[in-house]
Amino acid sequence: MDLSQLSNVELMQLNQLTLDELERRDVIRTRNNPISEYTEWLVADKMQMVLAAPSTKGYDAITIDDRKIQIKSRKNNLKNRSLILGIIRNYDLNQFDELIAVIYNHDFSIRYAISIPHELVKEYGFYNEHQNGYTLRISNLLLNDPRVTDIIEFIDPDTERSKEEITVKPDSNTIRDVQTIGMQTFVEYYQYVERGMNTTDLVEKMVTDHPEWKESTARTKASSMRRVFKNGDNVEALKIIYKSNHPAITDEIKSKLMTLLDK
């Protein structure tokens, strides 16, 4: 079918018919988020789980040994290859035992499918006060954590990947933000942002610590730091700095970087 020959209305009608058929097959149930519902069905079907009722809070499926599983997904497109999952709320209520994350390529082939123990969400995630929950990015550090299980062979047995393909390439936006902030500055103020210091207080501290900086300079650095954390790229930024050969990154700073990375 040549979709370019269809009118806008015909394309919308085709989309409606597609959703109708997916609903008939019990792949989607509410149509609120077809990609999310498709992923829940896919994981449950391939891993022999029972889907929870659509209104269930905190988890989406139950395993044969009664473990509660929350399922998150993200579909990349040609312009956006983000690896940040949707907000994870009520973490401290311990409503799920594992989080399964599935990231799709543009053509719906699976880029990543991993099972993440509950405790790692807080360990690798970043608390978002505005959305009242944790954001979690599928980073190299997370992928290489021995507590994380690659389950792509269960979800898509035909997928063959080399070790290099499992590695996440640093986001160019993260590298640019680190350059804007300054590597030493990022390390110096990392723990303040990690503990939730707001932009106004961070700017004030930067100007106090560095009176030679203009307020606009401090605000740019502070805003960039907050963005890195909000996007869940803070650990990747630490790794970028650690691996750099910049003479400003002394052994003392590298030691502090290792402490931050080991947290």
pLDDT tens, position by position, 1-28: 788 888 888 888 898 898 899 888 988 8
Given this model, what pLDDT does residue 90 score? 93
Q: Given pLDDT bands bounded at 50, 70 and 90, which one contains residue 161?
A: low
Q: Given pLDDT bands bounded at 50, 70 and 90, which one contains residue 158?
A: low
**Which one is predicted more confidently, 123 or 263?**
123
Given this model, what pLDDT does residue 40 score? 94
For the chain, domain boundaries: 32-166, 172-261
Given this model, what pLDDT does residue 117 score? 93
Ordered alpha helix ranges (H), 113-198 = 118-124, 140-143, 152-155, 172-181, 183-194
Residue 160 has pLDDT above 60, yes or no: no
The model's pTM: 0.61
Residue 164 has pLDDT above 60, yes or no: no
Distance between CA 23 and CA 25 in Å, rounded?
A: 5
Given this model, what pLDDT does residue 99 score? 96
Given this model, what pLDDT does residue 187 score? 93
Share of the chain above pLDDT 90, in %: 35
Q: pLDDT (tens digit, 9 = 90+) per residue, 188-216?
A: 999 999 988 988 999 999 999 999 888 98
Given this model, what pLDDT does residue 49 score? 92
Highest mean pLDDT among 55-59, 233-237, 255-259: 55-59
Given this model, what pLDDT does residue 210 score? 92
Distance between CA 209 and CA 131 in Å, rounded?
A: 31
Q: Which of 47, 112, 128 is nearest to 76 (CA)?
A: 112
Q: Which of 67, 44, 68 is nearest to 56 (CA)?
A: 68
Given this model, what pLDDT does residue 250 score? 84
- Paired with 98 in beta bridges are 69, 117
Residue 246 has pLDDT above 80, yes or no: no
Nearest-5° Cα angle at 212, 208 to 213: 75
Highest mean pLDDT among 75-79, 116-120, 140-144, 165-169: 116-120
Strand ranges, E, within the chain: 50-51, 61-62, 68-75, 98-104, 110-117, 126-128, 133-135, 149-150
Contacts of 97 (CB under 8 A, 6+ apart): 67, 68, 69, 117, 118
CATH for the stretch 32-166: 3.40.210
Cβ–Cβ < 8 Å for 240, 177: no
CA distances from 193 to 27, 228, 233 (A): 41, 10, 13
